[in-house]
Every structure is written in structure tokens, then in C-alpha cells.
Amino acid sequence: MVNFLYRIFLAFNSTFLIVVIYLIKEKYSLNFLKDYSIYLSWLLFILIPILLTRLSFGIAKTLANDSLSNTSVVEVELANNSFLPTYLGYFFVSLGVSDIPTLIVVFIIIYLFTFLSQSLYFNPIFLLFGYQFYFLKTTSNIKVFLISKKELKKPGDDGFSNLKRINNYTFIDFE
């Protein structure tokens, strides 16, 4: 159950930047900050997904433990750049949205696709916390997605004894 709720939360964090970009584009400000600069509202909008992402690390520590030995990894591929087009697309979509009802529909559709794919949970804010994204190919010819602070360069250099399983193909490393 915790795993399912965590995946809902990760999908939300991964897509919430669409809302942030839209709110900034439309020059929204928070009513309780109306006596202050609009930039303070924008800063809070930006801080929300950052804080939620930070919270996700704490929640992840409650997930099931797993490990991956250094001898079972045969291929390492950095995945950071493969998600850039997706996120640029999200930003352009949020810049093109003209009103709140359209934003809600677009957000729900993107959120559902992100959640239902359940294969990868790429969140660019993880990069701010020093995490990298990797595709690892195992000796069983299975490709897994790893979120880790380690800098992986070649297969077999590192083992992972403190992984948390997000789903069958996605793990986060807390070593």
C-alpha cells in the first residue's frame, strides 16, 4: 500500500512543474502575499515541488529493500539527457495553456500517463539534490531504472546493497 501511494506521489511530483510554469506565466500571486512582490509568490510556487521532492526521499526509505550485486550489472547508461525532450515538451505545453480549466485537463492527462506507465519516475528536481538517473542492464538481460547519487561509469564497479524498490523496474539508491 505504501508503495502504491508513493508511486502516486512520485507521478505528481514529476508533473507538477507544469502547474508552476503556468502560474508564473500567468503572473499569479498568492493572496496572503499581495502586499509583497509577486516574485515572492513565484518563489513559493517553485519551492513547493522542491519541498515535495525532498519529502519523497523520506517516504522512499519506508519502501521494500532490495539489492543489486556489482557482478549482475553488465551495462550502465546515463539517462538524464533522455528525459530532457519530455520536460521541454511539458514546459511548452504549460506555456501554451490559456486558462485554468485547460491546465487542469492537461495536467490530469499527463499525470495519468506518467502514473500508468509506471516504468520510470523521472523528476528533474532530483538533480538539484545530487541524484542521477541510470539505465542498468543486468545479466538476466533486464533493463532497470536506477536513481542514485553515485557516479556510475562502467558495469561491475559498484554494487547496490541499499536499494528501495519503487516498482519491478525502478529503484532508488540511498547509499
pLDDT tens digits for 23-61? Answer: 999 998 888 877 778 889 999 999 999 999 999 999 988
For 79-90, letters b (16+ CB in 10 Å) and e give beeeeeeebeeb
Please say whether the beta carbons of 138 and 73 come within 8 A: yes
Q: What is the pLDDT of residue 168?
A: 83
Phi/psi-derived region of residue 148, left when phi > 0, alpha when psi is between -120 and 50, beta in every other case: beta
3-class secondary structure, 173: strand
Please, what is the Cα angle at 21 between 30 and 14, to 5 degrees? 110
Q: Domain segments of the chain: what residues?
A: 2-173
Q: What is the DSSP letter of 124?
A: T
Helices vs. strands in the chain: H and E counts, helices first: 6, 6
Q: Checking phi first, is residue 141 left (phi over 0); if not, alpha (psi -120 to 50) or beta?
A: left
pLDDT at 73: 84
Q: Please work out, in degrees rounded to the nearest 5, the angle formed at the alpha carbon of residue 167 by the alpha carbons of 126 and 66.
A: 85
The pLDDT of residue 120 is 62
Q: Which residue has the higher pLDDT, 129 or 89?
A: 129
For 97-156, what is each residue's pLDDT tens digit?
Answer: 999 999 999 999 989 988 888 666 778 899 999 999 999 888 889 888 899 998 887 776
The total of other beta-carbon atoms located within 10 Å of residue 45's CB is: 20
